[in-house]
Amino acid sequence: MGSVELLRVLGNKYNAEILSATGEPKSAQELSDELGIPIATSYRRIEELTEADLLELSGREFSDEGRRTKVYRRDIDNIRISFDADEIDVELEDRPEVDNSLVDVWRDLKEEP
């Protein structure tokens, strides 16, 4: 995705707030509640951010109602924007991988009948 397109995605209402809030995995409902975003908008923004490779599906967790829900985590740590006379440059610093082996084991234990 080009720099201008990335700036457009980042400039859409709620996208920066969602990225800021997803340092830890969160569901669309959690983001909606925490940020005061309508749930349909939350889903649309999540889709837009995942398509731009700024947000990633982190896994599936059980909601308070006992349903499996997708949780998302930002895929970047820093964004640098520089403006030259000739171009706009957006640099993304990827977020380090997190070892989720304990989380995976715990999730598997909860899923066993």
Q: Going from the N-terminus, what domains does the chain have, and what CATH number goes with each?
A: 3-111 (1.10.10.10)
φ and ψ at 63, to 5 degrees?
-80, 175
pLDDT at 47: 96
pLDDT band at 15 (very low <50, low <70, confident <90, very high): very high
Which distant-in-sequence residues (6+ apart) come within 8 Å of 35 by Cβ? 14, 17, 18, 21, 42
The model scores a pTM over 0.85: no
Nearest-CA neighbor of 43 among 23, 94, 55, 64? 55
Residue 104 neighbours by CB distance under 10 Å:
11
Span 88-108, pLDDT tens digits = 777 777 766 655 545 555 545
Span 43-61, pLDDT tens digits = 999 999 999 989 999 888 8
The answer to whether 13 and 19 have CB atoms below 8 angstroms apart is: no
